[in-house]
A = this chain, B = another copy of it.
């Protein structure tokens, strides 16, 4: 059955897409019902069923884990907070290793409470990733910085362009694309005037570790929870995938949709059927 979902790198389901309907065990069952054998779970979903159970599911069903979401959140207003974030990322790396994940996705954090210093926040991110990189290497878990849309720069992620994320990689792990790279989510970067050039650069530097898809709706009703199913919005996802493949990445397309008012309210099987149909259409 997997051939039916092959081509264009195969389909992976980020389990946030059906998080309101299913716990991780139920989500895996649902994916398997639809011949989907690649997933990306969130840490709270792993914790809810226990890491051992999650790892057993992955082994028993020979699942591909295209990423674990998420590490990061390195920015904090004091040293204790930053230390706690580093410790938490160490644990996240271990969890990703237990699931044999392709990468640990990093959503790096926004401005610390009360801060207006985005340059300072970005330095905290560089420092934080630097502090966990050796542990990630030892665990053979590549770290994937995910540049988030600039509308999240204040409260969630101060790395907002491919260029910026690649510069950070070059600083921390020069010439070492396998250990530190990017999760490239079409939703976050489709608008970037440098999109084609920076995807090509990411490929040249061996830094494309994951490719996430969903769609940008017009109008978008909520900054966080109104992402669209592929085909319902305005992103040229086929052209985007062409750039990704031309840059040398042939891995999965991972569907990640936060949709409080639409897809999270629908039956999980219907959501997965729709993901498959739309994935095939693009």
Contacts and interface: CB of A to CB of B under 8 A. Distances in A.
A129 to B, nearest CB: 16
Contacts of A150: 149-151, 191-192
Interface string A159-176: 011011000000000000
Contacts of A151: 149-151, 220, 223
A190 B193 CA distance: 17
A107 to B, nearest CB: 15
Interface stretch (A10-18, A115-123, A200-208, A271-279): A115-123
Interface residues of A, number: 31
Interface string A103-135: 000000001000111100010000000000000
Contacts of A192: 150, 160
Contact of A223 (B118, B122, B223): B223
A140 interface: no
Contacts of A117: 236
Given A150-B191, A220-B223, 20 more contacts: A111-B218, A116-B234, A116-B235, A117-B236, A118-B190, A118-B236, A150-B150, A150-B192, A151-B151, A151-B223, A153-B190, A153-B191, A154-B191, A154-B218, A155-B218, A158-B191, A160-B191, A160-B193, A161-B193, A164-B193
